[in-house]
């Protein structure tokens, strides 16, 4: 897959922000799903400083570790720290994954929220994704997890801590635009992912953005 390479992490982030702005010019409402991880932190910082009408945007999580929301390993905690705390957005426009008494209860709660918001047909306008060193994306680690048909799934991996809750691959592929933000060290993983049949290779029609060191 072609990867668009920028001269710096900042220029990559600005390009991703421009995608959001262009979508806002065309639509009255926007649904965006964000991934966690270290790569998008610069993107979140720059996005928080932009003059954006956040009332028009609903923010969702692509995936989450099954930990309390204030745990430093929580994707919501990271996104809140670098983006949500710094913007003016209605509380009802933020859709996180609750830490409930059981991981199945957390999964069902998020799935119910999605089905209610999208009125049964979960189609995101934009989805920002990343890729792990083992070729996983979202919290889809194994080939059989990519084949699950549920909208929201429970996953786990011996290579990674915590059980996870993730959008299923069918929901990921249903998004209108799927944008990967990659550090330069992830480029070889993307380039080899189709030969190795890694989970990231299951994403249909993605756009890959990266930058030079």
Please check whether residue 54 lies inside any domain of the structure. no
Q: Is residue 97 part of a domain?
A: yes
The Cα 162–Cα 113 span in angstroms is 23
Assign residue 118 the CATH number of its domain.
3.40.50.1360
State which residues form the domain around 170: 3-49+69-211
pLDDT of residue 213: 78
Give the separation between CA 143 and CA 128, rounded to whole angstroms.
Answer: 21
Cα 43 to Cα 90: distance, rounded to the nearest angstrom: 21
For the segment 116-135, the average pLDDT, to the nearest whole number, is 97
Average pLDDT over residues 40-68: 97
Amino acid 104: pLDDT: 98
Burial of 173 per CB tally in 10 Å (0-12, 13-18, 19+) = middle
Tell me: pLDDT of 1 over 80.
no
Is 59 contained in some domain? no
Q: What percent of the chain has pLDDT over 70?
A: 100
pLDDT band at 185 (very low <50, low <70, confident <90, very high): very high
| Residue 78 in tokens | 């990271």
* Domain contains 60: no
For residues 40-56, give the mean pLDDT: 97
How many domains are contained in the chain?
1
* pTM: predicted TM-score of the whole model, two decimal places: 0.96
Query: To which residue do tokens 């998020």 refer?
Result: 110
What is the percent of the chain with per-residue pLDDT over 90, rounded to a whole number? 96
Decide: residue 144, CB within 10 A, 0-12 exposed, 13-18 middle, 19+ buried.
exposed
Q: Where are the beta strands (DSSP E) in the chain?
A: 3-6, 30-34, 57-61, 63-65, 94-95, 126-129, 152-155, 164-167, 177-181, 207-211
> For 25-47, how does the pLDDT look when each residue is reduced to its tens digit (9 = 90+)?
999 999 999 999 889 999 999 99
What does pLDDT average to over the chain? 96
């Amino acid at each position: 897959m072609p990867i668009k390479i920028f001269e710096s992490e900042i220029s990559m982030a600005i390009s991703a922000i421009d995608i959001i702005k262009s979508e806002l010019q065309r639509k009255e409402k926007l649904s965006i799903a964000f991934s966690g991880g270290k790569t998008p932190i610069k993107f979140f910082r720059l996005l928080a400083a932009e003059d954006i009408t956040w009332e028009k945007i609903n923010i969702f999580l692509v995936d989450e570790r099954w930990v309390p929301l204030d745990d430093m390993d929580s994707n919501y905690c990271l996104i809140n720290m670098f983006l949500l705390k710094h913007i003016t957005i209605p509380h009802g426009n933020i859709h996180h994954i609750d830490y409930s008494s059981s991981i199945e209860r957390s999964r069902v709660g998020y799935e119910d929220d999605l089905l209610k918001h999208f009125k049964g047909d979960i189609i995101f306008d934009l989805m920002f994704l990343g890729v792990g060193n083992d070729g996983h994306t979202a919290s889809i680690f194994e080939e059989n997890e990519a084949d699950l048909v549920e909208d929201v799934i429970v996953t786990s991996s011996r290579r990674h801590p915590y059980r996870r809750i993730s959008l299923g691959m069918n929901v990921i592929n249903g998004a209108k635009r799927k944008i990967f933000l990659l550090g330069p060290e992830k480029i070889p993983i993307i380039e080899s992912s189709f030969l190795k049949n890694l989970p990231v290779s299951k994403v249909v029609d993605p756009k890959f953005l990266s930058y030079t060191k």
